[in-house]
């Protein structure tokens, strides 16, 4: 195995360690885990982390007075077969059939990171990709309860729903959802 392949494998192991962890990991946590499990030198692990941050696969977050490494959503992320979520400031050339959802960074739930959001988007895609569902002259509506970022309501409209209503008890979520929706249509 070449040194380039070994380095790419190390980067993959670092990313997997972060993505699959059920807790927030510091750089030291990652170094210890990979050094103990795979015997990688800590200097190489640090270089791999630095490269993954530079290419926006990972990002540093600050919580509870500590810095952690997490998956970066500051780039286009494919959520399902057709749905790609991206920040408005990032350029993305969609493939044929892609539905691109632009989301502003915020604190509200629903940026595509959580498995339940991905599952719900895949369910919407499955249900609304069928011609039988959208046939007819009847108006089709969606209700997104606990809308968070508004991602599910936006997805439903992009798949052909006439009108979606998102509700949330959190005023920050309502504000962020409005801002995200305004990226996709003109406010009425």
β-pairing verdict for 83-86 and 77-78 = antiparallel
Same domain, 29 and 122: no
Asked if the structure places residue 188 within a domain, the reply is: no
Return the SS3 of 136: coil
**Residue 136 has what pLDDT?**
65
Same domain, 56 and 91: no
Q: What is the pTM of this model?
A: 0.70
Distance, CA of 118 to CA of 54 (rounded, Å): 25
Asked if the structure places residue 32 within a domain, the reply is: yes
Number of domains forming the structure of the chain:
2
Angle at 70 between CA 50 and CA 100, to 5 degrees: 105
pLDDT tens digits for range 20-73: 998 999 999 999 999 999 999 999 999 999 999 998 899 998 888 899 999 887
Give the domain extent around 148. 77-182
Structural contact between residues 181 and 154, judged by C-beta atoms closer than 8 angstroms: yes
Same domain, 141 and 109: yes
pLDDT tens digits for range 136-150: 657 789 999 999 999
Same domain, 26 and 89: no
Question: Six-digit token pair at 75?
Answer: 């780039």
**Domain stop point among 44, 71, 98:** 71
- Say whether pLDDT at 179 is over 90: yes
Same domain, 116 and 51: no
Region 96-111 average pLDDT: 89
- DSSP lists the bridge partners of residue 58 as 71
Ranges of H-type helices in 39-170: 42-54, 115-128, 131-134, 151-158
Average pLDDT, the chain: 90
């Amino acid at each position: 195995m070449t040194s380039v392949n070994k380095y790419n494998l190390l980067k993959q192991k670092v990313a997997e360690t972060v993505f699959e962890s059920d807790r927030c990991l510091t750089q030291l946590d990652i170094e210890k885990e990979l050094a103990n499990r795979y015997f990688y030198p800590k200097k190489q692990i640090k270089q791999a982390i630095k490269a993954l941050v530079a290419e926006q696969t990972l990002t540093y977050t600050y919580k509870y007075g500590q810095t952690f490494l997490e998956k970066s959503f500051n780039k286009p992320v494919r959520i399902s077969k057709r749905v790609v979520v991206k920040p408005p400031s990032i350029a993305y050339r969609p493939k044929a059939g892609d539905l691109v959802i632009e989301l502003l960074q915020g604190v509200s739930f629903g940026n595509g990171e959580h498995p339940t959001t991905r599952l719900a988007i895949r369910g919407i895609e499955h249900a609304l990709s069928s011609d039988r569902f959208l046939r007819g002259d009847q108006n089709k509506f969606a209700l997104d309860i606990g809308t968070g970022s508004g991602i599910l309501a936006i997805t439903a409209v992009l798949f052909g729903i006439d009108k979606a209503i998102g509700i949330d008890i959190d005023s920050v979520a309502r504000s962020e959802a409005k801002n995200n929706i305004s990226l996709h249509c003109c406010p009425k």
